[in-house]
Structure 1
Amino acid sequence: MSRIDETKEFIPVRIAVLTVSDTRQLADDRSGDTLVARLTEAGHTLADRAIVQDERALIADKLRTWITNPEVDVVISTGGTGLTGRDVTVEAHRDVYEKEIDAFGTVFTMVSFQKIGTSAVQSRATAGVAGGTYLFALPGSPGGCRDAWDEILKWQLDYRHRPCNFVEIFPRLEEHKRRK
């Protein structure tokens, strides 16, 4: 099973939080607040935070902006992962991904199923990598953000997590671009 190797030093990750909503402002963004509280409590750095409307091009543009920013290692978005016509976050993420992390959605569904039963099938949480940056798309509910952070991201974004984690492979995410 997974564990924290206390002999290793914690490495803080710089994380940007993107809320996708047609109605939310920073003052009432409970899901964004949940993510910010959890990531800073874990020792990571909030690199940036923004809210964009549920428009595919706007979401993809913001993701691309952060991917090119050397001060951002990870982007976590919240909102727009459902099934309605305005839910286009997953499509925007996939427009940007170089590689999708297929198992993220599966593991998120397993975690959600334990909390909300068969309603878990309505989430399209996804993850991928682009430009050496990890991108995670979470549901817009504080509970969904809490579950994704507490059960998956908290561990995978901790360099000390064993048997493996996302942080330890940062240097290799773009190894295909190096000259031989």
Structure 2
Amino acid sequence: MRGSIAAMAAAGVLMGTSAAPVSAQPADLSAEAMAAHLAEVGTWQFAARKKGPDGKSECTETWHFDADGTGWVQSGQQRVTLSWRTEKDSSDDRWLRLTPLASTAGADCMGRPSDPAAYPEEEYGFVVMFKNAGDALTCRPASYIMVDGVITDERILRDEDCWGWLDPVKRK
């Protein structure tokens, strides 16, 4: 498979066209393929779904993923270095796990000041749902609670559980 993709890409270069955009959704949605895709694209633009009074996203950030599991997030004046990994859970959700390691001083995209002394922080994660155009929705699915109050392993995803978009930054 890799050989045929490489051959298609090489043919695209020779013919002056690209075979498939790097930013397109990966056909394989395993945790390993998701990690490879995030690193292959490298730099992503995050935009919160919540809009400010001006109609624009209340927060935009630049996220960068390197293949070695390190990366950074630029949020306003704050830059956070991090480690990252992906996993697929029993519900087939694809999780992105981030561990903030260090931060610069400065306000984030919401105007909140950062405290570099508070780092490193605990790992946290969320589900990444890729769309065919290559962008992805960031969400935190909720556990399903039965009528009798029992919490099941089943997950549900409501619109309000999704707070932002990741869009690949186009390479020149």
Please tell me the TM-score bracket, short chain as reference: under 0.3
Which structure: greater helix fraction?
1
Higher relative contact order (CA 8 A, sep 6+): 1
Q: Which protein is bigger by CA-based radius of gyration?
A: 2
Return the TM-score normalized by structure 2: 0.24
